[in-house]
A and B are shown apart, each in its own frame.
Chain A
Amino acid sequence: MTPFKSLKNSHQRLQIIARAMLCVTAFAFTNCSDGNFSNLETLPAQQFLEKPIDFLGNTYSVRAQIDSQIKWEKGVGRILAVLPEGSSKRLPVFVAETVGDNIHIGQRFEMRVRIQEGGLVYVEALRKY
C-alpha cells in the first residue's frame, strides 16, 4: 500500500492534491515572471515579413497589442493579428488553446514566440503588460 492510499479519508487526499497544484502554479508563475522573456531578443518584425523562412526555429520576445482575431478553432487555438511595438504592419501569431484563455482586442501582451514551419509565429507564453 502506498502512503497516498494509506490516507484514511478523502478529505485528506484532497488537501494533498490542492497543495500540490498550488505548488505547481506557484512554480509556473515564478518561472514566467522570473525574467525569461526579458532575456529573449525582440522579433525584428520588418525583416521577418520580408523573409520569414530565415527565422525558422528561433525564439523571440514580442511586445504587441491585439488587433483582431482572425480565426479560432476549438481544441486548437486562435490566430491573432497583433501590432508589434515599433512596427506599422500587423503580424499574425498563433496562440494555442493551452497557452491563453481570455484574450481581448486592444490588450497588450508580452509574448515568447518561436518561429515554426511556414513562418508560423507560435506563442509559447504570454503575459499582459
Chain B
Amino acid sequence: MLKHYASISLCLLGVSSLLSGQGVGAPPAYQPAPAPVAQAGGSAPTSGIFESSTFLESANRAFDPTSDSMNFEEGSFVWKGRSFNLTEQRAFRARLERFLLTSPSSEEQEYAVLMTDIMERLSVENTNSDEAMFETWELLFRASRFDSDGGNSTIVANQVFNAWRIRKESRGISMSQRELEQVRVTQQEIVANRQFTLRRIRERRLQQTSASNRDENETKTDGESALTSEDAFRVLDLAETEAKIIALESQTALNAMQAKIQFQSQIVSFFMQRRFQHALVLSSFYQLIFKGSQQQLEVGKDELSSFFPNTDLTFTVDTMSFVSREAINDINKGVDAVNTAYGEDRSLIALERLQETFFLGEYSPELNLIPTTQRRHLLDLYRGMIEAGDLAEAKDYNGVAEMVEQISALASDFPKNRILSSIETAKSVSDMAVFAASQYRNLGDIDKSRAELQNAIEVWPSNPSIREFQQETTKMATAGSQGVKVFDDLMGREDKRAIYERRMELGFALSSDKERLPIFTNVVDEVARIEMLVKQSEELVKQGNDYAAWEFLVEAAKINPDDGPMNRARADLAPQVADFVLHVNRAERQVDSGHYAGALAGYLAAQDVYLASRLCREGVEATANALMGVLKGEMPVAE
C-alpha cells in the first residue's frame, strides 16, 4: 500500500514539475485506465477530457479576435469570394497593432487628397490630352514623397515614362524605316535599270556576230562580266535594305509588346499587393496610353483566375480597374461599419470588422478615418482577447475569469456569462475528479485514483485541490508506517475520538491488517455516529429547540458516554434544559431501582416540560408496560 502512495506522490511531483516547467497542461505521463466509474459522485475520466475540450472550443470561439473571413491555417483571406494570400498570423498581428498604435497625421490626409485628385484627373470624364496627362504624371512624383505612398507612385510614373519612351523610340524607328523604304525604292529602280541595260547590250552584240570570233569573244567576255558584277552588287544592296526594314519592324513590335507586358505586370502586382489606388491609377494611364485593341491582359491570368474561379472571362485592364474600385468602395464601407459599431458600444463587432477592413485596405488612406481614441480602445480589446485566449489554452481558469471581466468592461457585447459558465463547469469537473481520486485512494484502489487524478489535471492543471491531494497523500504515506503503533496506543487509552480524527492515515496503515481493521472500522463508525448526532444537536440549538437538541445528545451518550466533544456539548446545553433533565434523570433512577410507578411519574412530568419528547414517550411506554406486568404479578417489584 505504501508503495502505491509513493507512486501517487511521485506521479504528482512529476506532473507538477512538468506543469511548472511548461506553464501549460502537461501531457499525460501514462495512459489512464479505461473509463472507470467512480463512487460517491466521482466522474469518469473521459467526461473531464470532453469537458476540457468543450471549454477550449468555447474559449477559442469567444477569444478569437479574428474575423470569419480570415483563415490563418490556410493562410488566406476571403473577400467577396476571392482569396488573398494572408501572411503569417504573428506578422499580421504586428501590422494591425502598429496601425492601432499610430495616429492619423495631416500629412496622410494630404496624401489621401492628392491620390483622389490624381484618380479624378485620369477619369474619362476629364480632359485626357497629352498635356493634361503629363501634368497628372508629374503629380505622381509629389505623391511619392509621402511616407504613406512607399514610393509606389514613382513606380507608376516610371512605367508611364517607359511607355512614353518606347513610343518615342518607335517613332524614331518609324522614321528610319521610312528612309530605308525610300532607299529600297531607289535600289529597286537601279537593279531594274541595270537588267534593262544588260539586255540591250546582249541584243547589240548578237547583231555584230560577223566580227572575228576572237575579238568578239574577248569583247563579249569583258562587257558582260562588268555588267553582271554591278547588277549583283545592286541586288545585294537591295536585299540588305529589305533586311534592315524587317528588323526595324520586328523591333517596333517587340518594344510595343514589352511596354505593354511591363505595364500589365505592374497593374497585377499592385492589385495582388492590395495597393488598389495605385492599380487603379496605373490602369487609367494604360487605358490612355495604349489603344483599345491592346486592353486584353497578357500576364497574371493565373493569379486572376484564382479570384474568379469557374469562369471563362477574358481579363482586361478594365477588369482590374473595376475590381480595384470595388475594393476601395468596400474599404470605405468597412470603415463606416467599424465607426458605427464602436459608436453603438459594440466594440467586439467593431474589432472584427476592423480586421477585415484593415487587411483589405492596409495601404488605403481611408483607414485614417478611424480616430486615435477608438484605435487605442480596440487595441486594448485585441490584446486582452489574445491574452485570454492564451490563458484558456493553458487552462488557467482564474486568469481567464479575470481577463473576461476586463474584456467585458471594454466590450459590452462580449459573451461574458457563457465563458464564466464554462469555467465553473470545468472547475467543478476537476474538483469532482480530485474528490473521486481521494475516494478511490481511501478505498485502496490506486489505479482508479490515479486515473481520476490524471483527469483532474487535464481539465484544470492549476486546481488547488490537486496540491492538497498531493500533500494529503504524502502525509498519509509518511504516517502509514507508524499507523499500527499509533492505533494500538490510542485503543489502549480508549481514545476513540483520536482514532476517528486520524482515520485517514490509520485507515491506510491498517488496510491490510485483518485483525485491527474491523476494530478500527467499528470505532470510526461509532464516533462518526456520535459526531453526526452532536452536529444535529448543534443545528437544533441554533434553531432554538434546546430540548430536542438534548435528546440527540442523550442518544449520542448511549453510544459512548465518554466521548469528549459530546460531553462538552451536553455540559453547554444542560443549563437550558435543566427542568426537563431533572425529571428524566429522576425517572431513570427510578427505573434502575425497579420503581416503575415512580419512573412513570418522572417521565410524565418531563413530558409536561417538553411534550414532543421521544425520550419521554418511549420511557412512558416502557415503564407502563413494566408496571402493568408487576400488577399482573409477572414481574418483581422493589420495596
Contacts and interface: CB of A to CB of B under 8 A. Distances in A.
Interface of A: 48-50, 52-53, 70-71, 73, 76-77, 79, 81, 88-92, 94, 116-121
B601 interface: yes
B627 interface: yes
B276 interface: no
Question: Main secondary structure on chain B at its contact with chain A?
Answer: helix
Nearest to B632: A76
Contact of B630 (A70, A92, A118, A121): A118
Given A53-B595, A89-B605, A71 B630 contact: no
Interface in B615-638: 620, 624-625, 627-628, 630-632, 637-638
Contact of A49 (B596, B601, B620, B637): B601
Nearest to B606: A89
A79 B604 contact: no
13 contacts: A49-B586, A49-B602, A52-B590, A52-B595, A52-B598, A70-B620, A71-B628, A79-B628, A89-B604, A118-B594, A118-B596, A118-B597, A120-B631
A71 B625 contact: yes
Contact of B631 (A48, A70, A77): A77
Contacts of A52: 590, 595, 597-598, 601
B582 to A, nearest CB: 9
Contact of B604 (A73, A92, A117): A92
B604 A94 contact: no
B608 A92 contact: no
Nearest to B600: A92
Contacts, number: 74
A83 to B, nearest CB: 9
Interface of B: 583, 586, 590, 594-598, 600-602, 604-605, 607-608, 620, 624-625, 627-628, 630-632, 637-639
Nearest to A48: B601
A118 B628 contact: no
A56 to B, nearest CB: 8
B628 A121 contact: no
A112 to B, nearest CB: 17
The 5 closest A-B pairs by CB, nearest first: A119-B598, A120-B597, A118-B595, A52-B598, A89-B605
Given A52-B597, A79-B628, A89-B608, 18 more contacts: A48-B601, A49-B586, A52-B595, A53-B595, A70-B624, A73-B631, A76-B631, A79-B627, A81-B604, A90-B605, A92-B600, A92-B601, A94-B631, A119-B595, A119-B597, A119-B598, A120-B597, A120-B631
Contacts of A91: 601, 604
A87 to B, nearest CB: 10
Q: Which residue, of A53, A88, A91, A92, has the highest number of chain B Cβ atoms within 10 A?
A: A92
Nearest to B626: A118
